[in-house]
Amino acid sequence: MVQCSDLEVTAASDSCSVSLPLQRTKLIIDTDPGVDDAIALLMVFQLPEFEVIGLTTIFGNVSTEDATRNALHLCEVAGFPDIPVAEGSPEPLKAVKRDRSFASKVKRIVILGGSFFASGNINPAAEANIYGDPEAADIVFTCGAEIVVVGLNVTTQVMLSDQDLCELRDSGGRYGRYIYNISQFYKDWHVKSDGVHGIYLHDPTCFAALYKPQLFEFKKGAVRVETQGICTGHTLMDLGLKNWNSNNPWTGVKPVSVGWTVDAAAVINLVKEVLKKP
């Protein structure tokens, strides 16, 4: 991610008015929309602090082809039909191996994925995004880029209730009714899958970690991904609590920032505040 200064705001005093540049963060968002992906994308589109310079699509919630169609639809809904959408691979891909300089070309990678010292959601060991391509995930975690990762241990603490969804529907916000409508299937799925009444805000929580990191606590550590066996896709972090007697697969790996705790109420309020905007 890189910064640009192409939006101006005005700072006024009693004696003068001065135009100052507002720094916009450029984002490339890799997505597989997905209801919570859609909510996160619509939040980004609402905020002038961010400029989406492109979307890339991948399989996950749906096939890559369907993810591309959904992403194009969301750009239309948001009023940004000209944002480039690049369709990704329909199967696991070791993309970072193709460009070893990748890590130096981005400011930061913010990842929704993994489950740190908590259960997975595809099986007891693994979270779905990492499980989909564990080899590529391990390459990314060890590539040396500045990485922030937010896993299920954090995102499952943040949920929109039925009341929250009704509040958005009736708020007059630009996307409130749209989000309410697309969330009904997602809400029913949560009841069947997790026995909860509401929807987990996985992707919006990950975006909040970029937008308002002060709402989170992070811990630094090297992260590796299991790529074989019954724990394939498992993310395991070295917390740095022990001086190991010999080298191991975590030795020499650049630490990443792992979401540890979250002010769930504050993130929910943030999501609602942004989505209530006209």
238, containing H or E segment: strand 235-238
d(CA 183, CA 176) in angstroms, rounded, equals: 11
Token look-up 């489950």 returns: 115
Catalytic, 66? Answer no
Report how far Cα 231 is from the mean position of its chain's Cα atoms: 23
32, 36, 138, 164: which one is catalytic? Answer: 32
202 assigned to active site: yes
Cβ-based neighbours of 107, under 8 Å, separated by 6 or more: 1, 2, 3, 146
CB 147 within 8 A of CB 206: no
Six token digits for residue 244: 């190991």
Find, among 109, 77, 84, the residue nearest to 95 by Cα. Answer: 109
- Residue that the structure tokens 């409508």 belong to: 181
**Could you give the C-alpha distances from 96 to 104, 128, 247, in angstroms and in order?**
12, 20, 25
Catalytically annotated residue among 37, 133, 202, 238: 202
Largest CA distance in the chain: 69
Please name the residues in contact with 20: beta carbons below 8 A apart, sequence gap of 6 or more. 8, 9, 10, 11
Query: In whole angstroms, what is the distance from residue 160 CA to residue 73 CA?
Result: 23
Catalytic residues: 32, 202
